[in-house]
Amino acid sequence: MQFHQLKRIHENKKRMTVARGGKRGKTSGRGGKGQSARAGNKRRPEWRDIIKRLPKLRGRGVNQHKPVSDTFKVINVSLIETIFKAGDMVTPATLAEKGAVVTFSGNIPSVKILGDGEITKAVKVSGCAFSGSAKEKIEKAGGTVTLITPKVTVKNTGSAGIVGTPKVVAEPKKVVKKEKKVVKEKKVKAK
């Protein structure tokens, strides 16, 4: 093969010839004069302006129908009776181990125990929420119930205390403002 025998894979791209030199003649399919006939014509779509005029919907977006509070996985007393032995500890972790509660990507969900069914075994329940009837039935069977402890937040004190030491705050305290009594002074005119 010689140099003059080489053939191109792609042919030359010919630009669209406008006006009388082109195949389509005069305006070359671009209509009349004006913005639409010029090169680089790209107008902003009208529907975009309509969208921009609409008010923004504030809120939680995709999650607007999901509750903000923790949702509990419900476990009945009758299920605890079948799964656990007398003297066992019932926690969300042990319920997940036994397969009574499904974990979501390794996270153990909050559990609420309801009083449907009967229980005869004395079990120790902690870390769960429960109904009044469930509490009565567990305690009647000789078991113990431990309430869920409130969430404790840890804050760094900064300039108020020693820097870097954590400060444990259980619940924010209510601040009661005292009203100040305003005493008006009488002005005495100088004679």
Residue 142 has pLDDT above 90, yes or no: yes
Closest by Cα among 69, 78, 65 to 141: 78
Domain locations in the chain as residue ranges:
73-145
What single-letter DSSP state applies at residue 134? H
User: Under CATH, what is the fold of the domain 73-145?
Assistant: Ribosomal Protein L15; Chain: K; domain 2 (3.100.10)
Residue 135 in 3-state DSSP? helix
Q: How many helices (H) and strands (E) in the chain?
A: 4, 8
Please write the tens of the pLDDT for every residue from 91-102: 999 999 999 998
- Residue 163, CA atoms < 13 Å, CB-side half-sphere: 1
Answering whether pTM is above 0.85, one says no
For the residues 57-67, what does the mean pLDDT come to? 74
For the residues 150-171, what does the mean pLDDT come to? 49
d(C-alpha 106, C-alpha 93), whole Å: 11
For residue 93, what are its two tokens?
């972790």
Beta bridge partners of 114: 76
